[in-house]
């Protein structure tokens, strides 16, 4: 029988369907009613990022991250951790570091946050958005600590919590022939050949801001899977919630056995970081949009 919610429909094939949750919206009952009904995976939209979790060096704050974690797990949902090492949303003290002191701060941050959530999460986005569009490395303060910073982050993460899946997460890696996609794929192959621990790649799948679903999306997912990692669509939104694009991205995941699940980047259009593009599955009043039905049908 066809399931009537996104999470239940995805679960029929052993997958999940998730959403980003913002702690500041957990007192909005329209929001929480939809989120609790439809989804079975949660990502904290901002609350587990470095600026939120380590506002002062060595002083960790898990208040809002735990609020989301507890809300989700009390409702039987799982949680993806987002994110440990990123050029953006660093606390001010981290932005001012460089070289070996920044490298050590990154390691300490990974250890501090992962110790708190040890054994509790489905996956961590260990490193986020580290590549340029042409497939070279982004010139961030983290990159300036040495080209090995990504593998150091993954090795640190594996030691900190051997039970959690370790993901690399990025946007504009959905087109198989695109430079950035190839750069990330080459990194995965290199890590696999040298025994650097990596379990998954998160394709953010922001088909907003001028991007759209490429015809070779399923090939991209399969290419990562063939390199030996699981894949997930981690931050999905689509300009004007195109039903064909939502259907296509969902079907691509369904067609790749190592595609573990799909997360949309917010609940209602009004919750989106790009709300002017109305890119989500529920309108501002919480009504199901046509794209909701196209996703549900593809999952079923």
Residues that bind ligand G3I (CB under 6 A): 45-46, 88-89, 128, 171, 204, 235, 273
Residues in the chain: 300
Contacts of 195 (CB under 8 A, 6+ apart): none
When the beta carbons of 46 and 251 are compared against ligand G3I, the nearer one is 46
> Residue 204, Cβ neighbours under 10 Å: how many?
23
Nearest to 294 by CA among 255, 249, 253, 258: 249
When the beta carbons of 88 and 104 are compared against ligand G3I, the nearer one is 88
Contacts of 20 (CB under 8 A, 6+ apart): 42, 43, 44, 45, 235, 263, 264, 265, 266
In the bound state, the residue with its beta carbon closest to ligand G3I is: 273
Rounded least distance, CB 46 to ligand G3I, Å: 5
Exactly one of 38, 54, 174, 235 is catalytic; name it. 235
Nearest to 274 by CA among 207, 214, 212, 174: 207
**Distance between the two ends of the chain, CA-based, in angstroms?**
9
When the beta carbons of 184 and 296 are compared against ligand G3I, the nearer one is 184
Identify whether 129 is a catalytic site residue: yes
When the beta carbons of 43 and 222 are compared against ligand G3I, the nearer one is 43
When the beta carbons of 189 and 273 are compared against ligand G3I, the nearer one is 273
Rounded least distance, CB 274 to ligand G3I, Å: 8
Exactly one of 129, 151, 174, 277 is catalytic; name it. 129
Identify whether 235 is a catalytic site residue: yes
Rounded least distance, CB 128 to ligand G3I, Å: 6
Q: Is 256 exposed, middle or buried (0-12, 13-18, 19+ CB in 10 A)?
A: buried
Q: Are 300 and 287 in contact (CB under 8 A)?
A: no
Any idea what DSSP says for residue 144?
G
Nearest to 235 by CA among 192, 268, 202, 190: 202
Q: Are 192 and 227 in contact (CB under 8 A)?
A: yes
When the beta carbons of 279 and 298 are compared against ligand G3I, the nearer one is 279
Rounded least distance, CB 89 to ligand G3I, Å: 5
Which residues belong to the active site?
129, 235
């Amino acid at each position: 029988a066809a399931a009537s919610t996104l999470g239940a429909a995805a679960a029929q094939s052993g997958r999940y369907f998730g959403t980003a949750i913002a702690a500041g919206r957990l007192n909005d009952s329209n929001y929480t009613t939809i989120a609790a009904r439809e989804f079975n995976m949660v990502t904290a939209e901002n609350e587990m990022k470095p600026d939120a979790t380590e506002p002062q060096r060595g002083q960790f704050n898990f208040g809002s991250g735990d609020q989301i974690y507890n809300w989700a797990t009390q409702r039987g949902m799982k949680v993806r951790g987002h994110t440990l090492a990123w050029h953006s949303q660093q606390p001010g003290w981290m932005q001012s570091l460089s070289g070996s002191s920044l490298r050590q701060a990154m390691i300490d941050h990974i250890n501090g946050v992962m110790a708190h959530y040890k054994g509790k999460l489905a996956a961590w986005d260990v490193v986020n958005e580290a590549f340029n569009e042409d497939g070279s490395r982004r010139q961030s303060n983290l990159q300036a600590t040495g080209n090995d910073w990504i593998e150091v982050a993954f090795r640190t993460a594996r030691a900190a919590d051997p039970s959690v899946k370790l993901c690399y997460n990025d946007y504009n890696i959905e087109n198989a022939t695109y430079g950035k996609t190839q750069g990330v794929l080459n990194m995965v192959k290199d890590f696999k050949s040298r025994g650097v621990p990596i379990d998954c790649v998160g394709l953010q799948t922001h088909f907003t801001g001028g991007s759209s679903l490429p015809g070779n999306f399923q090939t991209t997912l399969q290419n990562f899977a063939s390199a030996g990692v699981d894949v997930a669509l981690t931050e999905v939104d689509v300009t004007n919630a195109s039903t064909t694009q939502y259907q296509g991205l969902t079907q691509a995941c369904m067609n790749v056995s190592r595609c573990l699940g799909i997360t949309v980047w917010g609940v209602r259009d009004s919750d989106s970081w790009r709300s002017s593009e109305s890119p989500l599955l529920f309108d501002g009043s919480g009504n199901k949009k046509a794209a909701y039905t196209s996703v549900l049908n593809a999952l079923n």
